[in-house]
Amino acid sequence: MLGVALRAVNSTFLRYVAASGVALCADMGSFLVLLHLGMAAMAAAALSYSLGILVHWLVSSRGVFTASTAAPGPRRTRQKALFAGSALVGLALTSVIVGSAAAAGIDPRLAKPVAVAVSFLVTWGLRNRVVFAGHDA
Question: Which tens digit of pLDDT belongs to each residue from 14-37?
Answer: 898 999 999 989 999 999 999 999
Reply yes or no on whether the pLDDT at 11 is more than 90. no
44-91 pLDDT tens trace: 988 998 899 899 999 999 989 888 888 999 999 999 999 999 999 988
Reply yes or no on whether the pLDDT at 137 is more than 60. no
pLDDT value of residue 94: 87
**10 close to 135: Cβ distance less than 8 angstroms:** no
* pTM score, whole prediction: 0.72
**Side chain identity at residue 25, one-letter code:** C
Q: To which H or E segment does residue 126 belong?
A: helix 108-126
Reply yes or no on whether the pLDDT at 2 is more than 60. no
Greater pLDDT, 3 or 96: 96
